[in-house]
Structure 1
Amino acid sequence: MYKTGSVSFDINAGRSNGRTTNIQFMTQDTGSAKLSFSFVKDGVPLPLSALDAKIVLLYADGSFYKKSLTLIDKVNGTAEYILSDEELTHYGTVKAEIKLYYTNGQSLVTSFFTFSIAKTLEDQNIVPTADYYIDDFETLRDGVTQTVKEISQTVGELREKFADLEAVETKKGSQEKADAVQANLDKHSKDKSNPHGVTKAQIGLSAVTNDVQAKKEDFDKHTSDTSNPHKVTAAQVGLDKVDNIKQADYYAFRQHDNNGERHTSKVEKDKWNAGQLFKLTEDNGLAKYLSGADFNTVTDTGLYYMSSVTTALNAPVNNNGYLFVHNYGTYAYQEYTSYSSSDSTSSGRRKFMRNKISGSDSWTSWREFESVEGAQSKVDVHADKTDIHVTKTEKDKWNGGQMTKLTKDDGKRTQLVNETDVLALSSGYYYANGTSVKNNPVVNDSSWFNYDVIEGDSGRKSIIAWRSHDNTLWHTTVHTDGVFKGWKRLITNNDFENPVWQNITLKNGATVGTRTPIYAKSGSLLLLRGHVRVDAEIIFGSIPVEYTPIGGAVVSVALSGTGGTANLIVYDDGDLKIKYPTPLDSNRLDGFYIDVSVPLQTGGTAT
């Protein structure tokens, strides 16, 4: 699928200032933005053989591309170019021209044209960078040459700058000055006379006294003294609650530690930790009892017996019963069963459910569970409705009906997929574009066609095809064992009563007389009308080949301005010529009346 913009060129030497087209692509038309070109010279298509076609594009941000065109039809002069995804990012107005390089050394350049690329909403913030792409070697070589010139110029400028370095001080002079500075620095660093007057406060020693410290042997003796010379108490070291008695030895401790009756194991603790930690009932297993409670406030998971129940407290009915609550965070769910001592259907024993809406204080409405008795009564009522149920007679009638679908479920025709063979269709109603199917009545016709197909036995079938836009109809049959009998077009009264008249193309100096020369086709006849002024023995006009009889024709036509006749020759290539005029008075001859009909021969010539 492509978004195509078409541009045509008339190759001549006429002056042109370029042209602005209405072609616009979007920055998201990736892989589908196509430019289609057609070339004409002297009124006929320009052949594109023995040449290389290039497109030159200059984008709004200065990006430059020169790339090859794809030649689609070299005989009829058509080509195309698909913009790359990178090129689509260079939005704005684009200037372009086409260059045709022939293998014999000649070249042609078209006038430039413009088109535009617009940004989509999601591409409003893209900032394109300038790109330069040339797939032509000669142009690339010119660019390289220019780059070499720029490099040469830069080298010259560097040489001029390095010439100024002669005025810089020599290495020897710099070394002598550095040695002198190092000598002064060494002398100053060895000076211990405190030449800068630094105080002990300035270096963080203001609290240090200038006294003699204890000797190392005195310090070691004090640290090894275990007689508690400082009289430290148990309370001072946090041992005031410790009894000064003998502790159990290792073996007694191990015996106690291994006592499995007094101590628990990891397996037991893991089991207990994984158990249910929230009570669903009372400790005795009975339901939790609530009286006069608002049902909206009962959200903890559990089983409850609800007393003094009313709908004013958001209960489903005015009847005591059992409430079962499931809760997962804010997703509370309630089931309520009303209590009754009776087993009858009309008693108050009913069951309901609802849930709380997450993230709010609202609840859904109560929904009642259907009982077996209630469901059966509804089924019985439903079963008695004969207006919505079918009988065996009705089913037998429908089962004996047409079982093959001829249309889609909505009653519309079925669209055919590409490459479907019309002759292979089963019974049904179909439609398709004429160029997308095989064996269409008209080859390469992009109109919409409708197809009605009815199959018979032994491979036989009949097919009717309608061209939708002009209501033209064809029919065919596929005979026994699949033999195709060809398409036949149905001729209507419109073909005879309303022929389409068109002007004859005059040439070689022929002019219109009192009536414009025209032609039309009616059934198997070529109709000619009009008055033409022309000399005899020259081709004075032409009509399309499909309007001419096989082998041509010769008919008599009347002269104007005088009596007499002449021969009108209709050549099978469509050319028209007047021959052998026999006027009664040649001085008064004023042209020829071509009001004639010519039989059209079809099906070949006789043998």
Structure 2
Amino acid sequence: MLDSNIRGLFKKIEYQIANLKGLFSKNEKQMLDNINDFKKDNEEFKDNLEYTLKVHTENKSNPHGVNKNQVGLDQVDNVKQASESDFNDHVDNKDNPHGVSKSQLGLGKVIDVLQASKEDLDTHTSDLENPHQVTKKQIGLDKLKNEEQATLEQFNAHVDDKNLHTTELDQTKWNNGQLVKITKDTGEPKIDLRSNTDNLLQALIGNKSSMSTYYAGGSVIGLPSNRFIRGISYMSDLENGQVSRGWTMAFDSSNTLFTNYYEQSWTGWKRLLTSNDIKTSFVEISLGNGATHGTNKAMCSVVGSALYLKGEVITSLGVVFGSLPISYRPTSTRHVSIPVFGTSGSATLVISNNGNMWIDTQLVSNASNITSYGLDHVIPIGE
């Protein structure tokens, strides 16, 4: 039975295989038909595409609608252009086809007259005989005379002549002249002192046998005043290498003139008085301690190194009756004999270096009759 079943199964399989073969054959034919149809359709499509492309490419009527902007010709107008022959004829036309004027060429001021030829111009420019008749005044030489000038060789010989316009006697005189400078090359004073350790008088001695100008600041040692000064000095007569004599004059910044003389040592500064210095100008003496003026007021003045007193004072013996201004005071105490009024006799006036004044002693006939003391006197105020 098993065998019968197997055979039945094989039959069934064979049948199914036969069915599959029939189905495959049918499908194979259908597939071949489809392929052939596809090939046919493809050939037709290619033919249509080639035809369409040919029609498109042969279309010269701008099938894509391209405009002049897209091809970079947006500035070009759609007008008729000249032919090449017409253009060439225009280019070759030398008779001003556009009617250009001289103003358009920047020559509006040029006159239409015959110009000189180049030959004429060259002849004119090479003419060195003053064709325009230029005068010496026109070229700024109207002051010159028409005279022969020295040649370059003659001029150079004149420049190189060491005896130029002078005689040997003149040159000898100049060569033997005094060449010592009294200032620096800049014109500044030869001696310049500014430090408070500088000593003017020592510097002048140290300048040996020479005349010099100098400047000294107000703090320099040895000045005639406490102001800065400018002066001139002459030191001479060297003995054993040292100056033995000399002098100097100096002006301070108040325009006061001083002199000093050196002979082994400096004799001391002297002030030269001016006409204003010797004018007597009196000021009133300030009184105190009960003192009063007499008939004529007590007054004082200084001329040079002298104190001038005048007038009368009423005061008591031994009492400071007045004080002199600072610039009127003596350098040391002075004792002066003065007259008394109201009785006969005299008294001693004392003036201290602080300016105080008093009657120290008196020799009179009757002291009770004294009405005042006379001050008229000239008193030295220097050493």
TM-score of the two chains, using structure 2 as the length reference: 0.49
Q: Tell which has more relative contact order, 1 or 2 (C-alpha 8 A, sep 6+).
A: 2
Which structure features the higher share of strand residues? 1
Which structure features the higher share of helix residues? 2
Larger Rg: 2
